[in-house]
Amino acid sequence: MGESPPDKVTTTAGRLEQCGAAADTLGPFSAWSPGKVYTHMAHPVWFNGSLRSDEECMVHVRSHALHYGSAVFEGVRAYATPDGTQLFRLRDHLERLFWSASLYRIPVPYSREELHAACHEAVAASGLESAYLRPIVSRGDCGLGVIPAKMDVVDVAILVTNWGAYLGEEGREKGIRACITSWQRPAPNTIPPGAKAAGNYLSSQLIGLEARERGFDEGIALGTDGLLSEGAGENIFIAQDGVLYTPPVSSSILGGITRNTAIQLAADLDIPVREQALAREQIYQADEMFFTGTAVEITPVRQVDHLPIGGGEKGPLTSRLQDAFFGLFEGRTQDRWSWLEPVRR
């Protein structure tokens, strides 16, 4: 006979407390409660072909993705606009998802069109007016070997939740404080930073955790060549003398879809943009700096390593780009690129 089950379920935090590990293990994070940073709402999940409740979405404890990080995913936003809920650049995100999967030889068991329809279905079922979607393709129970014994055991899920400003409303308005971390981004010939694979986010976690432990809002990493790469989950832009600069895709970055949006909006606003390798000190000389990303949208950076960027507040080019970006969803910027598509209810 096995052990009798515990009479009540204990949370991870509770167990850590019981064994006295919380303070040592969590450091400054021991005071955090998940509710402070992330509000979870159980919306139906599109899982392997149909909408299901959380309890019905079973991923095996032997799943390859859990052991080896072999999942690829996307983060996509849907915005509440004057014309109803609209998905932003969904087709571009799906294109990157399929490309990331192909790099790791993960066969996606659905077509682009099927996943496109599934994203619409999942947002509509959530009833949310604005939403964050997380499509994820992960290797399942395909053997414990690093090289999967069965290549075609793959789960696909699309989670939908509400997610506000990633680094806070105030940060998005007034700017955040960042630092350059001691952790560097993986070199391009190690694991490809341009693919959005789950395993890559161990690097992002080290960068983001170190920054928060040191009291900053977010961390920025250099590449192994010593040049600027990107934030834990964001691309970087700096502005100097009216020109925007951003590291190229060869600088160990994820080629962000929001980065591309900012480049195209800047062209529309006659703001020159140069994709070029950047040295760390160029940050401290910059007039302005901002992050781009689906989670962070366009967020000004007002300070790096305790040094103010420009005047230490959101700069004029950042304001113009933010205005054009959020104008897409508020009806002020014409969507000439067909980036938005109404959710089919």
Ligand X SMILES: Cc1ncc(COP(=O)(O)O)c(C=O)c1O
End-to-end CA separation in angstroms for the chain: 52
- For ligand X, the closer CB: 254 or 317: 254
Q: Which of 90, 118, 257, 309 contacts ligand X by CB under 6 A?
A: 257
Tokens, residue 121? 């279905």
CA 253/CA 261 separation, integer angstroms = 16
Residues facing residue 341 across a β-bridge:
87
Which part of the chain contacts ligand X (CB under 6 A), choosing from 31-39, 155-163, 231-239, 280-288? 231-239
The yes or no reply on residue 293 touching ligand X (CB under 6 A) is yes
Strand pairing class (50-52; 288-293): unpaired
- For ligand X, the closer CB: 70 or 204: 204
Contacts of 239 (CB under 8 A, 6+ apart): 245, 286, 287, 288, 289, 315, 317, 318
Which part of the chain contacts ligand X (CB under 6 A), choosing from 1-9, 232-240, 309-317, 322-330? 232-240
Q: Taking the complex as a whole, how short is the minimal distance between the CB of residue 205 and ligand X, in angstroms?
A: 11
Closest by CA position to 132, among listed 141, 142, 124, 123: 123
Catalytic residue among 8, 36, 174, 196: 196
Ranges within 24-63 binding ligand X (CB under 6 A):
none
The yes or no reply on residue 230 touching ligand X (CB under 6 A) is yes
CA 46/CA 138 separation, integer angstroms = 14
Which part of the chain contacts ligand X (CB under 6 A), choosing from 13-21, 253-261, 299-307, 334-342? 253-261
Q: Which of 136, 254, 271, 324 contacts ligand X by CB under 6 A?
A: 254
Which part of the chain contacts ligand X (CB under 6 A), choosing from 29-37, 62-70, 78-86, 255-263? 255-263
- For ligand X, the closer CB: 93 or 177: 93
Here's the x/- map for ligand X, 101-140, by CB under 6 A: it reads as ----------------------------------------
- For ligand X, the closer CB: 22 or 207: 207
CA 77/CA 57 separation, integer angstroms = 22
Which residue in the block uniquely carries the two structure tokens 């290549």?
Answer: 151
Binding residues for ligand X, total number by CB under 6 A: 14
The yes or no reply on residue 204 touching ligand X (CB under 6 A) is yes
Which residue in the block uniquely carries the two structure tokens 């990331």?
Answer: 100
The yes or no reply on residue 246 touching ligand X (CB under 6 A) is no
The yes or no reply on residue 148 touching ligand X (CB under 6 A) is no
Q: Taking the complex as a whole, how short is the minimal distance between the CB of residue 92 and ligand X, in angstroms?
A: 8
Q: Which of 64, 120, 259, 302 contacts ligand X by CB under 6 A?
A: 259
38 DSSP assignment: -
Q: How is 233-287 classified by DSSP, letter by letter?
A: S-EEEEEETTEEEE--TTTT----HHHHHHHHHHHHTT--EEE----THHHHH-S
- For ligand X, the closer CB: 93 or 314: 93
Q: Taking the complex as a whole, how short is the minimal distance between the CB of residue 260 and ligand X, in angstroms?
A: 8
- For ligand X, the closer CB: 44 or 318: 318
Active-site residue 196, yes or no?
yes
CA 41/CA 67 separation, integer angstroms = 27
- 55: amino acid identity, one letter: E
- 158: amino acid identity, one letter: I
Contacts of 345 (CB under 8 A, 6+ apart): 84, 85, 124
- Residues that are catalytic: 196
Which residues bind to ligand X, rule: CB under 6 A?
75, 204, 230, 233-235, 254, 256-259, 292-294
